[in-house]
Amino acid sequence: MMKRRWFVPTMFAIAGSVTVLSCQESSPSGASSESGLCSVLMSAGSMCEAPTSCTATLARDCGGLQGVFSPAYVALVEDCMTSLGDPQRCLDLAIERIPNDPGIEAFAESLCLACEPDNAACAGDVLSPTVASPRSRAGRLARTLDPETLAEVQTACVGMNGCGDAFDACAASVLTRWVPPESMGCFAESIAGTYVAMCESGVADGSAAEIGDTGDLGDSGSNEATAATSESDDGALSQGSAEAAAVDPTDTGGSTGSDAATDTSGETGLSSDETGDCLDGETEACAEPICDVDVDEPNDTEQQAAFLGAIGDDDDDGSQARGQLGGSEDIDWYFYEGSDDFLSTTDPFAQSNVRELEVCIYLECVAGIAITQIDCPQGTTPRTSPAGRPGCCAQNSEGFGFDPTCGSSSLNDDSSVVFMSVARGPAGVCQPYSLTYHF
C-alpha cells in the first residue's frame, strides 16, 4: 500500500542548508541535555543493526530540542518512546495527542487573519493535526513549541510575507538559533510524516527534500497542498506549487512504497511459502497491487504500528480501526495503551470483519515484558512478535481475547501496551477491512 504523505514544505529543504555557528544560542527554556527526553533519545536505535542517521542526530541535539518543545509535548514523546523507541515516529505521533489551548488558538487566529482572512475553514485546518495542508502543517509545528518559542516564531514569521512555504522557511530559520540544521531537518520530517522507520535501510540525512527521487512537480498557482500525493501514469508526483517534494526513501526505480506493485515483467517470480496461494514464476497472480492511500501507512512493521490512543478496560472504551491490505505479503500493525481501571476486567480483544484474515494480539505490561504473562485461548496459536512481545494469532476467527497477568497475582495492575496485526490478505487484491478491539 502507498505510504501516507504530508505536503513537504520548503522548510525541509532550507533547514539543511542554513549556516549556523558551532554554538547555538541558549534555548528559551534553558533545558538541560540531561533531561528524560535526552535519555530516551540516546537509548534509541540500540535494537537496530543500522539505525537511520536521524536517530543519532536527534539524540546528539536533544538539549536544543528540549529547549524549544513544550513540556506536554516532551512528556508525550517520552511516553511514546518507552513503547515504540522510534524517535521520528514518536515526534510525529505525539503531535496528534496535544490538545488545542489558548496559545495555539491565538496562533491560528493570527495566521489566518494575516494570510487567509476570507477563508472560513482556515482556523479549523490550523487546529487540526491530521489535515494535509500548509495551514495544518503550521499548526502541527505550533503544537510542539513552548509558549515563549511559539511567540518568537509567530512574531517573526506570521504576516503577508510569511504564509505557506514562506512561513515554513521563516520558522526553520528561527528554530535553528537553538536546534542545529540537521536535527531541524529530522524534526521537520516528523512534522510532515516523510520520515522512514528507525531501523529501515535508506538513511535519512536530515534534509527531506534531498531524500530519494523527486518527480516532476505540477504548479496549480497556489500554496495549497492536495489531501494526498497523487501519481500520474508515468509516476510523476503532483503537489500543487510546492518547490520541493520528498518521496519514500526506500523506493528504488520508481516504486511507490513498501506496498507498491511488484515488478511483473517476468524477470522475477514470486512465491508465498506461507499461504500457498502463489507458485514460483506466477508473477501475474502474485504481484502486489497498487492500492488506495491508507492514512495509517506506513504501518508495515511493529515499530511503525499506527497509534490508536489510550483506552480503559471497560469494553465500551474500545473502538474500530479501518485499513487495507495490499496483497498476500502485506501486514498492518496497530497499537494502543490499555489502562487497568477499577472494577473492570482486562481482556484485550480483536476481531476483523473479514474472517479469512489473520489477526494477532501481542501484549507488554507497562511494568515490563519480563512479568508479562498470557494464555492463548483455544483456536489461537501462541506467537512472539518481532520485538519479543508474547501474543496469540488466529485466522478464520470470529474474534478472540485473553486475560493477561502482569506479575505474580491477578490483583496486580495489568495496564499494558497492546499491539495488533492484520495479515494474510488475498494475493493480488486490495482487501479493505475493519478491526474491532477493546481492552
Q: Which residue has the higher pLDDT, 174 or 259?
A: 174
- Residue 298 preceded by cis peptide, ω within 30: yes
pLDDT of 311 over the 90 cut: yes
Helix axes 134-144 and 181-192, enclosed angle (nearest 10): 120
Q: Which residue has the higher pLDDT, 373 or 290?
A: 373
pLDDT at 260: 34
pLDDT at 242: 30
Residue type, 218: G
pLDDT at 280: 41
pLDDT of 268 over the 70 cut: no
Q: Which residue has the higher pLDDT, 307 or 272?
A: 307
Query: What are phi and psi for residue 406, nearest 5 degrees?
Result: -105, 90
Among the residues of 233-300, which ranges form H helices? 283-286
* From 340-344, 381-385, 431-435, the region with the lowest mean pLDDT: 340-344
Residue type, 384: T
pLDDT of 390 over the 90 cut: yes
Entry pTM? 0.45
Residues 200-211, mean pLDDT to the nearest whole number: 36
Residue type, 231: E
The Cα–Cα gap between 403 and 344 comes to 12
Residue corresponding to grid cell 495479515: 423
pLDDT at 80: 85
Domain ranges, ordered by start, for the chain = 10-208, 302-438
The Cα–Cα gap between 348 and 400 comes to 8
pLDDT of 160 over the 70 cut: no
Beta carbons of 419 and 398 less than 8 angstroms apart: no
Selected from 3.30.160, 3.40.50, 2.60.40, 2.60.120, the CATH number assigned to the domain covering 302-438 reads 2.60.120
Most confident of 38-52, 155-169, 208-222: 155-169
Q: Which residue has the higher pLDDT, 113 or 243?
A: 113
pLDDT of 5 over the 50 cut: no
pLDDT band at residue 429 under the 50/70/90 scheme: confident
> Which H/E stretch holds residue 175?
helix 165-175
Residues 261-281, mean pLDDT to the nearest whole number: 36
Residues 332-348, mean pLDDT to the nearest whole number: 90
CB half-sphere exposure, 123, CA atoms < 13 A: 14
pLDDT band at residue 312 under the 50/70/90 scheme: very high
The arrangement of strands across the sheet holding 358-365 comes to 306-312, 331-339, 416-423, 358-365, 390-395, 381-384
Q: Which residue has the higher pLDDT, 306 or 342?
A: 306
Which tens digit of pLDDT belongs to each residue from 23-63?
445 555 544 444 578 888 887 766 566 677 888 889 888 88
